[in-house]
Structure 1
Amino acid sequence: RTSVSKPVILCVAQPSCLGSSTQCRGAVPVADVTSMAPRNQPSGNSSDSSCSSSMARGKRSALLNKDSEEYREHRARNNLAVKKSRTKSKLRAQETQQKVAKLREENENLVAKIKVLNKELSFLKDLFL
Structure 2
Amino acid sequence: MKMLSKNFISKFLCPLLLFLLLSACQSSSADPLYAPADLEGNWRRIDSNKPSLDAMEVEVQGIEAFIRATNGSSPYFLLGQRKWRRIRPTDGPNFSYEDKGSNNEFYDGTMTLDKSGPTDYLYLNIKVAGSGNGNRQTWERF
* TM-score where L is the length of structure 1: 0.24
More helix by share: 1
- Which fold has the larger relative contact order, with Cα–Cα distance below 8 Å and residues 6 or more apart in sequence? 2
TM superposition score normalised by structure 2: 0.23
